[in-house]
Structure 1
Amino acid sequence: MGKDEKDHEDTKEGSGLNENRQEGCSSKEGKGKRLWNKVKYQLVEYHSLPGFLRDNEFILGHYRSEWPLKQTLLSVFTIHNETLNVWTHLIGFFLFLTLTIYTAMKIPKFVDLPTIHHFPDVLRKADMHKLHAELLTCLPSLPNMPDLQTFREELKTSILPSMDLLPSPSNWYIVELLTNCLPERFSHSNHTDVCLLLSMKEELANIIAPLMKRPITRWPFFAFLGGAMFCLLASSICHLLLCHSQRLSYIMLRLDYAGIVALISTSFYPPVYYSFMCYPFFCNLYMGFITLLGIGTILVSLLPVFESPKYRGLRACLFSGMGLLGIAPIFHKLILFWHQPEAHHTTGYEILMGAFYGLGALVYATRVPERWMPGKFDIAGHSHQLFHILVVAGAYSHYRAGLVYLKWRDLEGC
């Protein structure tokens, strides 16, 4: 073999070795990149966190730290120390969404008509021909109503219109006619007829009186439900996304504080409005005050210094103080309506709500139970998760109180 041929062979072997080395390096780089990606999105311990994520030194591990947005969103389905913080309030949001739909569709169907089945017995005992004549006589004395002529024509051809019309809200004219016209005209009639007709008027009043009242306005109750849903959803999103970056963490914490203020503020609306709807001065005073206080608290919470862990107790006190202001209208309500069982019933629910919220604020501020056993409650059972559960329980207690307020005012008005 000549020298040139030998040099050529050596060159080919060198090229092959270089290619193999490059392939090996590429393979190692690929494996290293995959390994780095796995390590990069692993959970870390408290001491490895950047400053903006250091909030609770008693939770030692299972933190997400500066993950990309995609991985952060997908972490809703993985286990870390924020998983239950996300899901406790996300489930609470869907609970209140369901309650809102149910309330809009089913309530205020509170009216019970127990006497409707007994009313025909009274009619059968009455002198229907005399009743027919008297109705025709007194029709002109009634106010003008759109269906008056139709009803008069029906009376000419029948003893009485079908009684199954009575429960319909579109037939109030029948009720007004019978309850306003009959008893006075029979004051000199046969004693039996008088008793029966008076009894018929009482039956009519018992049946229709609740229906004659239009349902009271619902906006204060739905404002509370909206505030509760906003608070729960904002909290859930905050706990899911705050690990992404310092900027997003700052925004999410502001959203979380705004949600808490919205829940507390709107919780005042149903008890204040429905308790003092007949006292406009006190209604406007209480509702205006809590609204302004809520706006002021949101503005204060926008200050960057407010999110510092050392102000954790101040945040708890501020939000708890807003809730404690509800004591004044509750006592005022009890003074005005002491004789009403609904006032005591709603107060019981409101005390229960306050107990849930107060206990939640205490647990949040003291970081119990993880401060007793650091690291043992990283995944489940730490203070923030307990705080979330107590908030949902308190809001549901207030929902139950709101149902009592609606039924009370629907049936009695002012």
Structure 2
Amino acid sequence: MVEPAKEPLRVALLGSGVVGSSVARLLVESADDLAARVGRPLEIAGIGVRRERSRADVPVDPALFTTDAMELVTRPGIDLVVEVIGGIEPARSLILAAIKNGASVVTANKALLAEDGATLYAAAEEAGVDLYYEAAVAGAIPILRPLRESLVGDRVQRVLGIVNGTTNFILSRMTESGAGFAEALDEATALGYAEADPTADVEGFDAAAKAAILASLAFHTRVPLDAVHREGITEVTAADVASARAMGRVVKLLAIAELVDGGVSVRVHPAMIPATHPLAGVGDAFNAVFVQAEAAGELMFYGRGAGGDPTASAVLGDLVAAARNRAGESSGPGESTYASLPVRPMGDTVTRYHVSLDVDDRPGVLAAVAQSFAGHGVSIQTVRQEGHADDAVLVLVTHTAPDAALAATVEELRALEIVRDVSSVMRVEGG
């Protein structure tokens, strides 16, 4: 008879796609090591799938697969549930049912956490179980646990990150080769970095969900997804990348969360950052998160932000933590929202800007443009002008100014007879 202390902890796995298959394989291949780390074996009790099909790539008994995921998560004796199916439903209903059934949950579902994390946290607290989600942001990079636990005694001031591998690959290729957005996207798709429908990535939705999670943890404040300012990279041009290079900068899609005037600012948008900044050298489909804390100073977390094995590594890290708590009849940290800071609107955000204008090439143009900036309290730091027959391109970089003032300036510039087009507006971060 198996000793009670050594009875297996039963794991229900929801999803057997790229990540789910890697999780199942690693649970089997690393069974002895995981048992030693937890103190009890981890046993796959079932794998919930959407439809029946051949699963030769998942090294488990085929009888473990079931299309009745709800029955699986509410089955008596399930200790831990791993959710890697993604999306809002049925993931939310399955997780809540699992928690009500007394199971601790490990999820990689950034969209659900960003949209309705408060409901999941409340359910877990009421049931006295764990909710872990390291894999929801930046794949294998351990960033959530440091924010949630390691830095809990410090005061985080700013989190700045590249948290989407697809967009980072595209911008890296544009920087390296001079390619346009469409060409770089085609390459990302051919290499498997971009989905057939890349909207969630290139329009910033994926990064915004991750920014909401990061900000909530860093600042002990619930940050809803709809409070995150979001811009994608579809409007970034080869000319923008070249202009950044001329300034000694590179273009990156950044997730930025920071303390501002007693509140929190959370935003996702492309920005020009100094080529000397640690994030500037993050290329290909890699992710990195830069944290500034009051006592710890500057910290950098870097690694692969997606993929089966990297994401599975983060899932298993959470699974071991939740399993240890289960075996020891304890629980991990819950939601921390004691600060309840207001989330500032984007218009209050203060930063610098790079503005490119197509204008008439004649006397008085620069003075008129400068007057528009001055009228809204936006100070110009540098101006570069290039003439082309009757046309000219003005490239201006501002001093720091509120986003609302810049937006009003751009709107006025568009209405000027001398301005043919405002071809580019991009924020300039750092240095």
Pairwise TM-score range, normalised by the shorter structure: under 0.3
If each structure's helix is expressed as a fraction of its own residues, which one has the higher value? 1
Larger radius of gyration: 1
Question: Relative contact order (alpha carbons < 8 A, sep ≥ 6): 1 or 2 greater?
Answer: 1
Structure with the higher strand share, 1 or 2: 2
TM-score (norm 2): 0.23
TM-score of the aligned structures, taking structure 1 as reference length: 0.23
